[in-house]
Each structure stands twice: as structure tokens, then as C-alpha cells.
């Protein structure tokens, strides 16, 4: 993993968070002004998580998608589309509609 200059404290917090999340699952929201390094920090976190054998789902917001219903949910779950068949039928239908995979009723 590439060293992130001046981010030792944040990287230590991420390591502690991932150690807990590996056993219980968890989420985090990273906010900040444009250009402060959020994407680089998240990439480092994802790299640490993958190295620990964790599955990482990511979503990012954009002004363009502000009015798109379930845009974030779609980003998170699209990579898991093939897993929908493992859900109970009602959940399959609801997620298929919410994610735009099937017609709404």
C-alpha cells in the first residue's frame, strides 16, 4: 500500500475500524471539501479491507445523481446482482424494482 503523507492518524483509525468491522460489519461516511484526499483515503481503506479478506462495497455521491432514486443503493448492490436469487422472493422483487432490473408494480 502506498504511504499517504500526513494521514497516519486516519490510517490507524481505519485499521481499528476494520478490525472491529471484520467481526460485526459496519459502515462509515467520509466527508470533506473537494481535494482533501477522501478518495485516496478510501482507496487505502479498501486495500486494507481486501488484504484482510473482507468484501468491500462502495458508493459515491455526485451532483448529477442527486435526483436519481436509489443511485447510492444501485452503486452498492450492482456488483452483487447475481446474488439476488439467494434472497426471499419478496426481497428479490423489491430490490429488482429499486435497482431498475425489473418492472415496478
* % residues pLDDT > 70 (the chain): 96
Q: What angle do CA 105, 75, 66 make, to 5 degrees?
A: 80
Helices first, then strands: H and E counts in the chain: 4, 0
Q: Percent helix, strand and coil across the chain, each rounded to 5?
A: 55, 0, 45
More confident residue, 59 or 9: 9
Residues in the chain: 105
Instruction: State how far the Cα of 100 lies from the Cα of 38, in Å rounded to an integer.
Output: 29
Say what the pLDDT of residue 1 is: 54
Determine contact, residues 102/93, Cβ cutoff 8 Å.
yes
Say what the pLDDT of residue 104 is: 64
Model pLDDT for residues 46-87, shown as the tens digit of each residue = 999 999 999 888 887 777 777 777 788 888 888 888 888 899
Say what the pLDDT of residue 105 is: 56
Give the domain ranges of the chain.
1-56, 58-105
Amino acid at each position: 500500500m502506498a504511504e499517504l503523507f500526513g494521514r497516519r492518524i486516519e490510517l490507524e483509525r481505519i485499521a481499528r475500524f476494520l478490525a472491529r468491522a471484520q467481526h460485526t460489519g459496519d459502515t462509515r461516511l467520509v466527508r470533506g471539501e473537494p481535494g482533501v484526499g477522501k478518495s485516496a483515503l478510501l482507496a487505502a481503506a479498501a486495500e486494507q479491507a481486501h488484504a484482510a479478506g473482507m468484501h468491500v462495497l462502495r458508493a459515491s455521491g455526485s451532483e448529477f445523481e442527486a435526483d436519481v432514486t436509489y443511485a447510492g443503493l444501485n452503486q452498492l448492490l450492482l456488483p452483487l446482482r447475481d446474488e439476488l436469487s439467494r434472497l426471499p422472493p419478496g426481497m428479490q422483487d423489491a430490490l429488482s424494482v429499486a435497482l431498475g432490473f425489473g418492472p415496478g408494480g
